[in-house]
Amino acid sequence: MKRSTLEQVSIFFTVLFLFTLYLPLVSANNGYFSKLKPEPVNYAAQLQHGSTGERDDENLRERTEALYETMHLEQMGLSKSTFEYAMKGFDHLLQNGKFKNESIISIADLSLPSTEKRLFVIDLSQAKVLFNTYVAHGVNSGTVMAREFSNQPSSYKSSLGFYETLSTYMGGHGYSLKLEGLEKGINDNANRRAIVMHAAAYVNEALIKSQGFIGRSWGCPALPEKLYKPIINTIKGGTCLFIYGEDKSYLSQSKLINT
């Protein structure tokens, strides 16, 4: 056998031997790295600050910013300041024992025009936007933009602030969701005003194309007919709803976002 042939055979068996030794290490490493796959982060649980009940505003800001970026909320149209207000008030209410379901928060951002999808239903435990759709404001709050707000009965205006979702019922608008206003003097007349979440035929894109804005309610955050049932079923029974609008009075009076 020629020398070159012997060298080739020697190299072949050397490579084969080394591969035999390396194979178990590759399998072991694959098993190890598979265990390092990140688990879903439960952001709702991270909002709890322990048994002392003390707030950590710096950590809250960091978690809020991380959530905002993770869910790409800026690209979806929700401003960072609105989300920060929502999370600050939500955190405060959690510290005071509110909400049976601490993973879900809904934000109706009425600082956006009604032509935009301004309702965001978020699962904090999965850092995921479950629904992003249209929502109506009160007929006396404005046309395209909601600019005036009220807590008074028969005002037909939207009320800003934090709400807790309650039970469902069958009413004049069909399947509807009761809401409890949590801010005294700002939205605590929600029950007296019959402010609920329900479906409305006037919340649709066809009206945007024909008249430049969706229809308006008597103050209720009305939803599109195609989505109201899954949304109501997702957020019913003790979750947080935050209705926000550009209103200096609310920003100065709300204790939940000024604590």
Rounded to an integer, what distance in angstroms lies between the CA atom of residue 259 and that of residue 129?
Answer: 27
Any domain includes 47 = yes
148 in the same domain as 63: yes
Q: How many structural domains are present in the chain?
A: 2
- Written as six digits, the tokens of 2 are 């020629």
Q: What are phi and psi of 199, to 5 degrees?
A: -85, 155
48 in the same domain as 31: no
Give, as one character, the DSSP assignment of residue 154.
T
pTM of the shown model = 0.81
Any domain includes 56 = yes
Residue 1, pLDDT score: 47
95 in the same domain as 75: yes
Give, as one character, the DSSP assignment of residue 133.
E
64 in the same domain as 29: no
Residue 40, pLDDT score: 45
166 in the same domain as 195: yes
Q: How far is CA 214 from CA 147, 218, 219, 236, in A?
A: 15, 14, 14, 25
Residue 26, pLDDT score: 39
90 in the same domain as 14: no
Residue 218, pLDDT score: 98
Any domain includes 259 = no
Which residue stretches of the chain have pLDDT < 50?
1-2, 9, 15, 19, 21-41, 48-53
Residue 135, pLDDT score: 98
- CATH (domain of 110): 2.40.440.10
pLDDT in tens, 11-27: 555 545 554 544 444 34
Residue 11, pLDDT score: 56
Rg from Cα positions in the chain = 27
SS3 state at 45: helix
181 in the same domain as 125: yes
157 in the same domain as 30: no
123 in the same domain as 79: yes
Residue 58, pLDDT score: 83
Rounded to an integer, what distance in angstroms lies between the CA atom of residue 45 and that of residue 43?
Answer: 5
Residue 54, pLDDT score: 52
CB 189, CB 151: distance < 8 Å: yes
Half-sphere exposure of 106 (CA within 13 A, CB side): 31
Any domain includes 258 = no
8 in the same domain as 81: no
Residue 35, pLDDT score: 31
Half-sphere exposure of 210 (CA within 13 A, CB side): 8
Q: What are phi and psi of 25, to 5 degrees?
A: -70, -35
Beta strands in the chain (DSSP E): 104-109, 119-123, 128-133, 161-171, 174-181, 196-197, 240-244
Any domain includes 242 = yes
Q: Residue 199: how many CB atoms within 10 A of its CB?
A: 19
Domain that holds residue 71: 43-253
